[in-house]
């Protein structure tokens, strides 16, 4: 009997090349491989937490070991496969009137689902290529320092706003990772890897546009104080927003893109137009009518958040956020300001509203 034909095992470089090809086939714009190792930013993370800059995100403080060493996720981990989706083309918004903007990453289908489904397929492919290997998905599932991993995999460099920047393509990227015990050749072993690493070492130079433009002063070079960040305040912060921020956060209702909007690297280029944004992240809703939100019911919220990252906000948070945005939007418009004050008075006096919404109504009325 003729013995069955077998495919010889791939070497480290062949495995990386196969993974890269499969990732591109699955629609990821960027893919690279980093060595599984301890983070170089552990001390900075621990100090950031000690300073209370993580705010109400207690899970970060509880999982520092996991965040600073991916090897805690997979026994014997040797490699981290890093992928990135480009979700926006960098074109400016054109939103008018009493509308609240949604951060661009949250305008389409929930990115967790979009990326996770394809990461699972990539993981299965890896186990076929390297039988017996373990794979574990991360990418907003576990609190690893994924931008550092992406930088190590040569996908880009971390900017002063703490987001990953890819030369000529900007920073509108969503990241995902697979930690594995398979020995995959790292991207910095590839031909011309040294040139790529040098090109992405420092993309900011003396530029401080993101720091200067941040409406709440949340950014210092390569660090963000979450407790002052509009994105954190409108998404992760689950309680009343301090009155000091009312009138400062602009028309943002869910998240914020200011630091990317002003970044020179995030502006459209020939290369970025050619690459485009992934159709899997096509926007479905870019803004909401802020006054309408104040009258929403739970049923209204439920219809909006189906398959959307917006589901992270409760109904009370959505109303609170609408009032926060109105505190900025209504300024300079006497007619709108009067309508907002009247609505704020009704909400502040309503025992049927949660206290953080009533507090937001009082803060908004004072701010305008």
What local confidence, expressed as pLDDT, does residue 224 receive?
Answer: 98
Of the candidates 254, 251, 228, 250, the one whose C-alpha atom is nearest the C-alpha of residue 241 is: 228
What local confidence, expressed as pLDDT, does residue 157 receive?
Answer: 96
User: Left if phi > 0, otherwise alpha if psi is -120 to 50, otherwise beta: which for 154?
Assistant: left
- Is position 113 annotated as part of the catalytic site? no
Extract the runs of DSSP E, i.e. beta strands, from the chain: 30-35, 79-86, 99-102, 135-137, 157-158, 164-165, 173-180, 219-220, 223-224, 252-254, 287-289
314: exposed, middle or buried (Cβ count in 10 Å: 0-12, 13-18, 19+): middle
Q: Which residue has the higher pLDDT, 82 or 92?
A: 82
Integer Cα distance of 27 and 362 in angstroms: 47
Among 69, 140, 286, 300, the active-site one is: 140
For residue 4, pLDDT over 50 is answered with no
User: Residue 197 corresponds to which tokens in the numbers above?
Assistant: 């690493």
159: exposed, middle or buried (Cβ count in 10 Å: 0-12, 13-18, 19+): buried
What local confidence, expressed as pLDDT, does residue 5 receive?
Answer: 45
pTM for this predicted structure: 0.93
Q: Judge whether 142 and 73 are in contact, CB under 8 Å.
A: yes
Chain position carrying tokens 């990227």: 173
Q: Tens of pLDDT along 147-180?
A: 999 999 999 999 999 999 999 999 999 999 999 9
User: Residue 208 corresponds to which tokens in the numbers above?
Assistant: 């401080």
| Percentage of the chain modeled with pLDDT above 70 | 94
Q: Tens of pLDDT along 282-295?
A: 999 999 999 999 99
User: Residue 153 corresponds to which tokens in the numbers above?
Assistant: 């995999």
Q: Tens of pLDDT along 91-128?
A: 899 888 899 999 999 999 999 999 999 999 999 999 99
Q: Judge whether 185 and 218 are in contact, CB under 8 Å.
A: no
Q: Tens of pLDDT along 299-346?
A: 999 999 999 999 999 999 999 999 999 999 999 899 999 999 999 999
Q: Tens of pLDDT along 229-276?
A: 999 999 999 999 999 999 999 999 999 999 999 999 999 988 888 888
Mean pLDDT value across residues 119-147: 92
Could you say which architecture CATH assigns to the domain 12-98+108-199?
A: 3-Layer(aba) Sandwich (3.40)
Beta bridge partners of 34: 80
Mean pLDDT value across residues 191-213: 78
- Residue span(s) of the chain under CATH 3.40.109 come to 12-98+108-199
The 8-class DSSP code of residue 281 comes to: G
Integer Cα distance of 79 and 64 in angstroms: 20
| Percentage of the chain modeled with pLDDT above 90 | 87
Integer Cα distance of 217 and 326 in angstroms: 20
């Amino acid at each position: 009997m003729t013995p069955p034909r077998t495919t010889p095992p791939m070497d480290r470089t062949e495995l990386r090349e196969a993974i890269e090809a499969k990732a591109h086939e699955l629609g990821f714009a960027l893919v690279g491989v980093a060595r599984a190792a301890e983070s170089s930013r552990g001390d900075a993370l621990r100090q950031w937490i000690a300073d209370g800059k993580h705010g109400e995100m207690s899970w970060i403080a509880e999982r520092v070991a996991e965040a600073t060493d991916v090897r805690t996720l997979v026994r014997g981990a040797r490699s981290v496969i890093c992928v990135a989706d480009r979700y926006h083309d960098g074109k400016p918004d054109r939103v008018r009137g009493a509308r609240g903007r949604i951060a661009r990453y949250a305008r389409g289908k929930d990115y967790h689902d979009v990326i996770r489904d394809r990461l699972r397929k990539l993981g299965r492919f890896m186990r076929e290529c390297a039988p017996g290997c373990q794979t574990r998905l991360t990418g907003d599932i576990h609190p690893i320092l994924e931008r550092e991993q992406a930088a190590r995999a040569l996908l880009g460099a971390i900017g002063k706003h703490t987001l990953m920047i890819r030369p000529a393509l900007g920073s509108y990227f969503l990241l995902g990772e697979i930690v594995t015990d398979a020995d995959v050749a790292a991207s910095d072993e590839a031909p011309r890897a040294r040139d790529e690493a040098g090109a992405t070492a420092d993309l900011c130079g003396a530029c401080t546009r993101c720091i200067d433009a941040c409406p709440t002063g949340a950014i210092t070079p390569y660090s963000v104080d979450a407790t002052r960040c509009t994105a954190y305040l409108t998404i992760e912060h689950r309680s009343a927003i301090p009155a000091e921020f009312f009138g400062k956060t602009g028309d943002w209702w869910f998240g914020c893109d200011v630091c990317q909007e002003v970044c020179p690297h995030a502006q459209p280029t020939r290369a970025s137009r050619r690459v485009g944004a992934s159709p899997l992240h096509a926007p479905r809703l870019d803004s909401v009518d802020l006054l309408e939100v104040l009258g929403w019911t739970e049923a209204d919220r439920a219809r909006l958040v189906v398959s959307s990252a917006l589901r992270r906000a409760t109904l009370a948070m959505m109303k609170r956020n609408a009032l926060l945005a109105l505190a900025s939007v209504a300024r300079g418009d006497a007619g709108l300001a009067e309508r907002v004050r009247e609505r704020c008075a009704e909400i502040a006096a309503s025992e049927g509203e949660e206290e953080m919404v009533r507090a937001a109504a009082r803060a908004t009325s004072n701010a305008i």
